[in-house]
Structure formats: C-alpha cells, structure tokens
Amino acid sequence: MIGVRRRRRSPSLRTRVTVAAALVTVIIVGLVGAVAWTQVRTSGYRELDARVDTLSAAMQPSLSNPNSTTIADNVASGSLATTRVGALALFSTPTQIPQQDVGIRDTTINNTKYRVKTVSVLDSSILNGGANISVAVPLKPTLDRIDGLRRGLLLIGLAAVVASAVLAWLLGGLAIRPLRRLAKHTEALPVDAGPADPERAALHTVRGAREAEEIAAAMNSLLGRVDDERARTQEALTTARDFASVSAHELRTPLTAMRTDLEVLDTFSPDAASRAEIITDLRRSHGRILETLASLENLAQGELGGRDRVRMDVVDILDRVATESAARLHGVTISLDGDQSVPAAVVETGIAMAVQNAVINAVRHGQATEIRLSAHPLDAHGGAVIWVDDNGRGIPPADRARLFGRFERGTTTASGSGLGLALIAQQATLHRGTAELSDSPLGGTRLAIGIDTPT
C-alpha cells in the first residue's frame, strides 16, 4: 500500500525573518571582519616595525663606541643586536644575529621568530666589506596580540549574529502578532455570520501592522461579497419557491376546469351547442395557462438574466415598441411624445418588455384606445423616466400599489395572469428605479418607470 506523503509545513514568517536577519548580519560582520582582520595584522606589524626602527637608531651613534646601555636593554627585553664590519661581528648581544642583507624581514634564530632590520652605516667603498647594524625583536608577543584581537573579532561577530537572530525573533513575534490575531478571529468566525454580525465587525479591529489591516480589509470585503451572493442566492431560492407554490395555485384552477370539461366530453354526449361551448372554455383555459407560463418565464429571465446595462437612446426603444404594438393592436392609437433623445444606461430587452406589457395591460384591462409613450431625462448622468399614458377606464388609487405584486388582479378584472405589472416593477427594480401608477392627462392611467444612474 502506498502511503500518502504529508506535505511539509512551510516555515513561518517569524522564522523567515529571523533567518534573513541572521544571514544579513553574517554578511555584514563578514565584510567588516575581513577588513578588521587585515587591519589588526597590519597595525601589529606597524608597531613592531616602529620598535625595530627605534632600536636600530639607538645602535647607530658610533661604531667605535656603541651604546652599551641599549645593548643591555636589548638583552633584558629579549631583543637582539649585532654590529658587523665586513664578516666580523664587532659588537653583539650574547645571541648574535646571522649576517643579513640590508632591509627588514622575519627570521628564525635558535627556533625563535624575530623581526630583523639591517641597516648599512659604512659603504663598502669606504671600508672594505662595509659595516652594518642588525637589530631583532621577538615576533611572538606581537603575534599573540594579533591572535587575541582576532579571537575577539570572532567572538564579537558571533555575538552580533546571535543577538541579531534573537532580536529578529522577538521583533518578528511582535510584528506577526496582528496576523496571528487575525487568523484566530477568522478561524472562530461563524459560518452563518451576517454583515452586521459582531464577529464580522471584529475583523475591522485588527491593528498593529499595515499588512494585517489590509488583509483584514480584503477579507471583510470578500466576506461582504460572499454575504451579498448568499443573500441573492437565498432571494432566488425564495423567489423560486414562491413561484412554484403560487404558480401551482394559479395553474390549478384552469387545469381543474379543463379536466372537468374533458370528463364532461368523455362521460356525457353533449349536443353541438354545448360541445362548442365546452371546447371554447377549454381553449380559454389553455390560453390562460400559456399566458401564465409565458409571464413566469419572463419573470425568471428578468431575475436570472444578464444585468449589464448599455448606454443608449430610450426614445429609440419606445419608437420600436410603439411600431410593433400598433401592428398587433388594431384600433389603438399609439404615439410618441416627450424629448427627442434621452440617453440612459439600460438593459434594452428588459425596458422593451416592460413597456410592451404596459401597453398590453392598458388595452386589455383598461380598454384604452389611445396610448402615449414618452421619455424624460432625470439628470445628466444617465437617469430617465418613461411615461405610458392611456385614456382607459383607469385604476382605483386603492389598488395601484397592490397590483405590482405577483398574481394580483384588479377588482374589475377577472382574466389575465396577474403578472404584467409585476414584470414592470421587476425591471424598474433592476434599473435601480421604481414603478408608479397615477392619473393620466388622457383620462386613464399613467405608468411611470424610473431608470436610475448605475453605480
């Protein structure tokens, strides 16, 4: 059996910051230490050469009467001095310095390292073989001091790296504390928290780091969008349930009537006149069912269809609706009024469907013979209002607000699906406007459909 390999957890931000700070410190300490490492040796040898120069100068006053005090001091301090004429050692400390070329160098004498300086005091052209003085200073004290300083540099560098890592760990803990607090709040966030829930609002209280505040703001925005989508989904589900229950109720009556008519045709033998009346009733019920289903389909398309609004001339939409409606509704005068051009951001099919329903309702239920369509701008940013005036019998003020509900019919109207004005109200809502009924100058009803500026 092949086991599932667990994915290794990524290093924490605190660990990353600590490692990064330690690496940066190592680099800086390494660069500074390399310079100091070289300078320590240079400084030590510079001091040693200065001492050698001092001893060499003290030995030079006179070859015939050398400074015996300096020679005695050399013996006491461990330094060596030798004066030669040619190959003959004229004066020297007990330990002689081997013959050396003029200059300064490191030399081992009797297994001890010295810094030796040899100077010429008489040229060979003056004295056969020439004369020179050599002085030697032990290297060990200087080398020990250089090693000690270098060990100090190493310890200081190591301490700096450790201190940097510790400080980075502590400061990193302080820096990520808001993120940990945000993670804890997010983990404890209830699944069903709403926009006004206190747990949701707690995300706004995260402080201490700009990044944490930005993440909290982004998460709050995301949760807000999730809540909005969930609300829309819940609204759609509620609408679907309402549609299902109300549609079943509305369709049950014509379907029951159709079944009764069919049973009468099947059980009895009605005469020709009764048969014709039953068939007419069947056709009427069938037409009502089709009308209800078509209206429900339009409502569903309005709820679930695209909501992208395009800026166009509303008057052009009204002109097209007027032309199409006049071709279908004989004996009805449909005209355009109002402004010649009203640009607005609209869903073209939705506005056209709403105006068509208004015209059909005015003719079918209001018995109107004259209809006037007009559009007027509300502001310079794309807002507009559409008026549909008719000369029909009107709608009582007490029924006007109620009739925008689904499956609502007027007190004087028994036919129809009761969805015409609901479709109009839906489109007005989708356009961030309202739909209102009032008295018309033509004597009937005026329907006003508002179109607000899109956000």
Closest CA to 25 of 165, 219, 193, 151: 165
Of residues 44 and 198, more confidence is placed in 44
242-278 in b/e form (b: 16+ CB < 10 A) is eeeeebeebbeebeeebeebeeeeeeeeeeeeeeeeb
Task: For residues 411 and 390, give the distance between their C-alpha atoms in angstroms, rounded to a whole number.
Answer: 19
The Cα-based distances of 452 to 15, 339, 377, 422, 433 in angstroms read 54, 17, 10, 19, 5
Residue 183, pLDDT score: 74
Closest CA to 313 of 360, 362, 375, 256: 375
pLDDT tens-place string over residues 52-74: 888 888 776 545 555 555 555 55
* Residue 55 in tokens: 């001893």
CATH topology for 307-451?
A: Heat Shock Protein 90 (3.30.565)
Residue type, 249: H
Is a pLDDT exceeding 80 seen at residue 151? Answer: yes
pLDDT tens-place string over residues 222-263: 777 777 788 777 877 776 676 666 566 666 767 787 888 788
Banded model confidence at residue 381, pLDDT cuts 50, 70, 90: low
Is a pLDDT exceeding 80 seen at residue 153? Answer: yes
The stretch 18-39 carries a mean pLDDT of 89
Banded model confidence at residue 335, pLDDT cuts 50, 70, 90: very high
Of residues 366 and 370, more confidence is placed in 370
Q: Where are the domains of the chain?
A: 13-160, 189-305, 307-451
Helix/strand number for the chain, H first, E second: 10, 12
Q: How far apart are the first and last CA of the chain?
A: 58
- List CB contacts of 32: < 8 A, sequence separation 6 or more: none
Is a pLDDT exceeding 60 seen at residue 193? Answer: no
Residue 281, pLDDT score: 80
pLDDT tens-place string over residues 261-308: 788 877 877 788 888 888 888 887 777 677 666 656 655 655 544 456
Highest mean pLDDT among 14-23, 168-177, 384-393, 422-431: 384-393
Global pTM reads 0.45
Banded model confidence at residue 206, pLDDT cuts 50, 70, 90: low
Assign residue 423 a region: left if phi > 0, alpha if psi is -120 to 50, beta otherwise? alpha
Q: What is the mean pLDDT of the chain?
A: 78
The stretch 17-45 carries a mean pLDDT of 89
Which residues are bridge partners to 370 per DSSP?
333
* Residue 378 in tokens: 């509300």
Q: Find where tokens 């559409």 sit.
A: 386
Closest CA to 152 of 290, 236, 251, 36: 36
Longest dimension (CA), the chain: 169
Is a pLDDT exceeding 50 seen at residue 195? Answer: no
Banded model confidence at residue 324, pLDDT cuts 50, 70, 90: confident
Q: What CATH number has the domain spanning 13-160?
A: 3.30.450
Residue type, 452: D
Is a pLDDT exceeding 50 seen at residue 201? Answer: no
